[in-house]
Copies of this chain bind each other. A is one copy, B any other.
Amino acid sequence: MDIATIIGFIAAIGFTVWGIMDSGDIGNFYDFSSIVIVFGGTIASTLVAYPLKKVIGAMKAIRKAFFVKTLDPSGVISQLIELSNLARREGLLALEEAGEKAEDEFLKKGIMLIVDGTDPELVRNILETELTFLEERHKDGQSVFESMGSYAPAFGMIGTLIGLINMLVGMEDASSVGPNMSVALVTTFYGSLLANAVFIPLANKLKGKSSEEILLKELMVEGLLSIQAGENPRIIEEKLKTFLSPEIRKNYKKGFESEDAL
């Protein structure tokens, strides 16, 4: 999946560069002051619009989105089923050790709350508040890129206006219009390309990653509360499997084995 994204980036640049070289010279598309206006303006406006911390957070989110693997839902389900079997056999307190070993911080916290004998209503309350804030933070990241996706073409146009105004003022002989106009349009080109090949798709990507992660955590909440309620592992599995898409469900093997083992 992530490889496809990187291929996507390279392809977007590749097709554009190829398109440029097919009909002209790549050198026409390099203009330092255009870069300063579009990049600089976009970043400056973003810093006005968001606190520095959120802008940095958004940058970190990219790295996370591309390189940190999200957990596999089938794996999480089998983990929860194992916990439920354990809890049924040895009681909720037996989960403590498993909780300490859990890699996912959210799952760990949930297990600890159960082990502590926290009231189920409070467990749900705490975990769901946590999810709400997680979603909020994810949305911050997306909206930073969405804003950049709208500032970039705007500064592209501002740069072109600067070029045009400067050109027109001194326009005496028509022969110089072409090349100057060309330079003026380069900023619009930068702005559009940045918005449509980088910022807007990235915002979208983060949105997808976020809803995947949230879904996984909702699955954990559902599973943990069922475990705390002492529900039958078979029923728990049936409930949690509704969170899987049909394709994943077909590949869902471990679950069925643990079901057989009941």
Beta-carbon contacts under 8 Å, A53-100 to B? 53-55
Check A102 for interface membership: any CB of B closer than 8 A.
no
Is the CB–CB distance between B245 and A196 below 8 Å? no
- Tell me how far the C-beta of A34 lies from the nearest C-beta in chain B, rounded to whole angstroms: 8
Is the CB–CB distance between B242 and A133 below 8 Å? yes
Is the CB–CB distance between A196 and B45 below 8 Å? yes
Q: Name, among A55, A147, A165, A182, the residue most crowded by chain B CB atoms within 10 Å (CB to CB).
A: A165
Is the CB–CB distance between A242 and B8 below 8 Å? no
Given contacts A20-B162, A129-B239, 5 further A-B contacts (CB under 8 A): A20-B166, A130-B242, A154-B192, A168-B179, A169-B179
Interface residues of A (CB under 8 A from B): 1, 4-5, 7-9, 11-12, 14-16, 18-20, 22-25, 28-29, 32-34, 36-37, 40-41, 43-55, 105, 122, 125-126, 129-130, 133, 137, 147, 150-151, 154-155, 157-159, 161-172, 175, 177-179, 181-183, 185-186, 188-189, 192-193, 195-198, 200-202, 204-205, 208, 235, 238-239, 242-243, 245-246
